[in-house]
Structure formats: structure tokens, C-alpha cells
Amino acid sequence: MYKHTNDAQLADLRAAVLASSRYRTVCPQLVEVLGKQELAKRRNLKEAIKATKNKLHQIGGAYLDLTLAENSALSLATLREAVHADDHIALRAACRQLMSYHASTRERLPILDEFYTRIFAELGPVHSVLDLACGLNPLALPWMPLAPTCMYYAYDIYQQITDLLDSWLQLIGNKGSAHLCDIVQACPTHAVDVALLLKTLPCLEQIDKQSGPQLLSTLQAGLLVVSFPVHSLGGRSKGMSSYYEEHFRTLVEETPWHVRRRLEFATELVFILAR
Ligand SMILES: C[S@@+](CC[C@H](N)C(=O)[O-])C[C@H]1O[C@@H](n2cnc3c(N)ncnc32)[C@H](O)[C@@H]1O
């Protein structure tokens, strides 16, 4: 009886969250995990729905500009035009425009010219990349010094993002793909040269405190690039990067990885890890 009520409540919560315009395309398995946690903590269904939406806001919704949905089709058409015309300038301009619809890539735009040049200079030849909790970062591919044959795999919790990115990868002839996935519940395990985990560990730890070490122990990557923001979304920065760095270095000790290189950028702190 008790279980039946719980299952029914969880189904109601899931339906209510997925019916809201902000979370319509979010990964249903993640809604269920967060919903279960909140139903166990809150007094009633209404409170649990509100708390689940708050959590989703903190880990993803706060970053995503609602106008992305309206602009995706138009932006894809612009990208397509630029690819067919082999116009690199127009292509980069369209990618920049699209990346501005996600707070995380928007913040990276001013450092984009140096960001991937400096990171990939440390990595050696790269034939495959896993971009975990990618946001719109795969649109930075034109800035990455990668061979056209490099396979790029991207994962996020928003279907609207992964659909757009899958079309983008096909458009540029990349043999990789983009997938809807809660990487805390289902960490991708196929072998790649490099996995990117950019500005994401603090979000994942809000779902499950152990997600960092678990993810790092499960990934089958030759090298790992992990980064942290230097400022909060609200612009505050006091002590943030030193807090993240200290916490991260302790976390790495529980895993098979060690920090090989540390790179500082104006808005981001990057660690390159090897086994
Ligand atoms: C701070 S943003 C970073 C985005 C991107 N890595 C970058 O650096 O531009 C965090 C991203 O993690 C995604 N995300 C949050 N929880 C996730 C999960 N459990 N599985 C996959 N992606 C997740 C969010 O949708 C959001 O795009």
C-alpha cells in the first residue's frame, strides 16, 4: 500500500515537472531520481515538486537561456549555410551566437581563442572526445585543434540541447553523436582519448555527493580535462577557485587519476589529469 502511494506520487511529480515549459525536455530518469529524494524529504507532493524544480534549476535550468528553443532552427539554418559555403568566419560567428544561449559557454566566449589551443597543446594526438554534461560546448569544435576524423560524443540532460548538437555534429560530418543522459546514473563507459568535464562537478555533486569520485573511477578515458568556474553565476568570486581546487585535489586522491597540469584562464580553472 505504502509503496503504491509512493509510486503514484512519483508518477505525479514526474508528470508535473515534465509538463512545465522549462523542464519539458529534461531527462525523465533524472527527474525521477531527484523526485524520489525530494518526496522522502518534503511534507507533501506540492513541496516535493517545487524542490525538484529548484534542484533542476541549480544544476541546469539556471544556465539555459529560454530563447534557445525559439532560435535553434534559425541558428541551425545559419550554420548549415556557412558549412555549405565553406565560410569559416560566418560559421564561427553563428557558433558564438548559439553558444551565448547557455551561461557556461557564454562566459567562455572571451577566452575561446586561447582556451582550446592551450588545453589541446598538453594532450598529444586526440582521436576521440567525450564531452560530459556538455551544455553547448560542442559548438566550440571550430576552435579545437582536432583532426576532422576525430569522433566527438556529447551528453547532457536536455533533449533540446542534444538534438541540436546531434544535428550540428552531422552537419560538420563528425562521426560522433549527442545523447540525452544523466551521467550520474549512467556514466558513458566507451573508451576515448580524452573526456571533458567542464564546470560540471559542482552541479553533479548537488545530485549525489559521491558522483565526482564515482564518475572519475568509471570513465574509460586516456586523459581527463576538468574545469571549475572562477566566478559564480551571480558574478561573485571570493575564494571560489581556491575552494574548488582544494576540494577537487582531495577528491582526486580517491580515484586512479593524478593532476598532470593546471591551467588558469580569466574565467576558468582547468586541470588535466592522467592515470
Ligand atoms: C555549468 S554547465 C557546464 C556546461 C559545459 N560543460 C560547459 O563547460 O560549457 C553544467 C551542465 O551540466 C548539465 N548537467 C547537469 N546535471 C547533469 C547530469 N546529471 N548529466 C548530464 N548533464 C548534466 C547541465 O544541463 C548543464 O548544461
Using a 6 Å cutoff on CB, does residue 25 contact ligand 1? Answer: no
All CATH 1.10.8.10 domain ranges in the chain, comma separated: 2-61
Sheet holding 177-180, edge to edge: 177-180, 151-156, 128-132, 192-198, 221-229, 268-274, 258-264
Q: Which amino acid is at 251?
A: L
Three-state DSSP at 241 gives helix
Cell numbers standing for residue 247: 576540494
What are the backbone dihedrals phi and psi of residue 177, each rounded to the nearest 5 degrees, phi first?
Answer: -165, 165
| pTM: predicted TM-score of the whole model, two decimal places | 0.95
Question: So what's the pLDDT on residue 49?
Answer: 98
For ligand 1, whether the C-beta of 135 sits within 6 Å is yes
Atom of ligand 1 nearest to the CA of 104: 9
Q: Is the CB of 183 under 6 A from ligand 1?
A: yes
Q: Residue 184: CB within 6 Å of ligand 1?
A: yes
Mean pLDDT in consecutive groups of 10 residues from the start of the chain, 275 residues = 70 97 96 96 96 97 91 91 96 96 97 97 97 98 97 97 97 97 96 98 94 96 97 78 94 96 96 97
Q: Which three cell numbers stand for residue 72?
A: 535553434
Is ligand 1 within 6 A of the CB of residue 268? no
Residues facing residue 60 across a β-bridge: none
For the chain, the maximum distance between any two Cα atoms, rounded to a whole number of angstroms, is 63
Three cell numbers at 250?
A: 582531495
The backbone torsions φ and ψ at residue 179, rounded to the nearest 5 degrees and listed phi first, read: -135, 145
pLDDT at 5: 55
Q: Return the pLDDT at 1.
A: 40
Place of cell 598532470: 260
Host H or E run for residue 198: strand 192-198
Distances (CA, A) of 134 to 130, 154, 157, 189: 9, 6, 9, 16
Cα of first residue to Cα of last residue in the chain, in angstroms, is 49
Q: Closest ligand 1 atom, CA of 183?
A: 20
| Architecture of the structural domain at 108-274 | 3-Layer(aba) Sandwich (3.40)
Return residue ranges of the chain for CATH 3.40.50.150: 108-274
179: CB partners within 8 A, 6+ apart:
153, 154, 155, 162, 188
Radius of gyration of the chain (CA): 19
CA dist., res. 166 & res. 156, Å (int)? 12
Task: Identify the CATH number of the domain defined by range 2-61.
Answer: 1.10.8.10
C-alpha cell at 237: 568570486
170 bridge partner residues: none
